[in-house]
């Protein structure tokens, strides 16, 4: 009964066109009303909802969100993104389908700087799609590749998705960051292999080879952008700062490089950049706060126990349970955006995962990877929509173009289900 009320109240509010954050609050109110009627709570108390709403946003690790978003804004406006693309182009642009490999390499590097799939995709699409279109690449394939590259951002640290999951599931964000490095790189390798197959089949052109002197110049010019991911990962590895402090370091570093070294970031742009990051932060934080209301009521209503009983036939086999959960998340990810899926499902699934004896960090990496893949699956597909907007193509064409890369990402995801040590062995190395 409780699970039914939770699902139908949430989906019903969304079906009426209500924003996800408000739908979560409606879901919380319905759960509280049900528990009051059944005697699980002594009375309906709206003050509890208000208190949980405030407590949901009052969380120190969430301070990383606005700073990483601000770092992404500074990075794009300050010329770091463009230099990374041109640097990758100088090394691999002359290969057959070279601009595609540039997109993959640039996506991995940008992912290790900003942690925002939408920001990375928008930057890559704005720079590369006109170049790929002019060079004669199929537009839908180009859009699909850039969208698939953009979703690496939530998996490679610094990742806003890992921050949300860590807060909602009470899991170490530092461990999540370090555990996401290898899976994120594997996602890039997978779409690189898929692009090789597509490029061979579609007979896409290659760019002229860049002279070594020019390559050296671009390397020296882009070195400041390449230092940032090393600074962030190295700082966390050696305990110099926490993920929240790493976000501040990223924002300050990208500001200094864009303003004083590359000199492309202007004082007149600061207000609009900070305002954009602030608006995005407000949306995320309101969503987090609303989700924490539902999360508390989900726990009080004992919904995780009911879900665990439904999954009881699979509890004896960790791998089979992970397969079932991953398939469930793939389905949910087609209908819900990234952050709502993370915030809604984490409090429901985490008790089940812990009861089954699955490492929460390992689960978190696969969970976030799965939700990231949902960003390129219609009808929601936020990242796919971003690419469609930049390239002026239809969602149908973009989805056809992304299919080979989507399949490659799913192969990586389910390979990690089969071989969990791919995640855990590197994590143990990083944590030494």
Residues in contact with 7: Cβ distance below 8 Å, sequence separation at least 6, in sequence order:
none
pLDDT at 55: 82
pLDDT at 33: 87
Contact status, residue 347 vs residue 304, Cβ threshold 8 Å: yes
pLDDT at 185: 95
Spatial distance between the Cα atoms of 274 and 270, rounded to a whole number of angstroms: 6
Backbone φ, ψ for residue 210 (5° rounding): -85, 130
pLDDT tens for 166-208 read 998 999 999 999 999 999 999 999 999 999 998 887 777 777 8
End-to-end CA distance of the chain: 47
C-alpha separations of 48 from 2, 9, 56, 303, 323 in Å: 19, 19, 12, 19, 37
Contact status, residue 150 vs residue 156, Cβ threshold 8 Å: no
Domain ranges of the chain: 1-44, 60-430
Residues in contact with 149: Cβ distance below 8 Å, sequence separation at least 6, in sequence order:
103, 104, 106, 107, 108, 120, 121, 124, 188, 191
Residues of the chain with confidence (pLDDT) below 50: none
pLDDT at 118: 83
């Amino acid at each position: 009964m409780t699970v039914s009320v939770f699902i139908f109240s949430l989906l019903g509010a969304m079906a009426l066109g209500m924003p996800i954050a408000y739908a979560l609050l409606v879901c919380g109110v319905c759960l509280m009303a049900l528990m009051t009627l059944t005697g699980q709570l002594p009375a309906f108390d709206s003050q509890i909802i208000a208190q949980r709403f405030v407590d949901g946003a009052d969380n120190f690790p969430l301070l990383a969100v606005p700073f990483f978003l601000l770092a992404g804004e500074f990075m794009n406006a300050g010329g770091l993104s463009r230099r990374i693309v041109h640097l990758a182009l100088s090394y691999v642009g002359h290969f057959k389908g070279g601009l595609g490999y540039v997109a993959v390499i640039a996506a991995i590097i940008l992912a290790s700087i900003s942690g925002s799939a939408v920001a990375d995709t928008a930057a890559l699409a704005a720079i590369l799609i006109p170049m790929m279109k002019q060079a004669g690449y199929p537009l839908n394939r180009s859009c699909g590749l850039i969208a698939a590259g953009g979703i690496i951002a939530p998996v490679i640290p610094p990742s806003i998705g890992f921050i949300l999951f860590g807060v909602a599931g009470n899991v170490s964000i530092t461990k999540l960051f370090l555990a996401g490095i290898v899976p994120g790189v594997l996602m890039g390798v997978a779409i690189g292999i898929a692009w090789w197959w597509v490029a061979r089949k579609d007979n896409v052109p290659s760019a002229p080879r860049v002279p070594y002197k020019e390559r050296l110049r671009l390397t020296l010019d882009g070195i400041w952008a390449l230092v940032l991911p090393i600074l962030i990962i190295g700082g966390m590895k050696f305990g110099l700062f926490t993920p929240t402090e790493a976000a501040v370091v990223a924002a300050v570093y990208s500001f200094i490089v864009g303003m004083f070294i590359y000199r492309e970031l202007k004082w007149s742009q600061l207000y609009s950049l900070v305002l954009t990051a602030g608006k995005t932060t407000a949306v995320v934080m309101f969503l987090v706060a609303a989700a924490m209301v539902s999360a508390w009521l989900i726990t009080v209503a004992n919904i995780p126990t009911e879900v665990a009983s439904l999954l009881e036939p699979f509890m004896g086999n960790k791998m089979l349970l992970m397969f079932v959960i991953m398939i469930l998340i793939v389905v949910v990810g087609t209908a819900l955006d990234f952050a709502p899926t993370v915030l809604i499902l984490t409090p429901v699934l985490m008790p089940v995962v812990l009861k089954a004896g699955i490492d929460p960090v390992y689960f978190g990496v696969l969970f976030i990877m799965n939700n990231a893949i949902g960003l390129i699956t219609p009808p929601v597909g936020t990242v796919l929509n971003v690419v469609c907007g930049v390239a002026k193509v239809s969602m149908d064409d973009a989805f056809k173009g992304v299919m080979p890369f989507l399949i490659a990402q799913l192969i990586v995801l389910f390979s990690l289900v089969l071989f969990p040590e791919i995640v855990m062995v590197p994590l143990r190395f990083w944590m030494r």
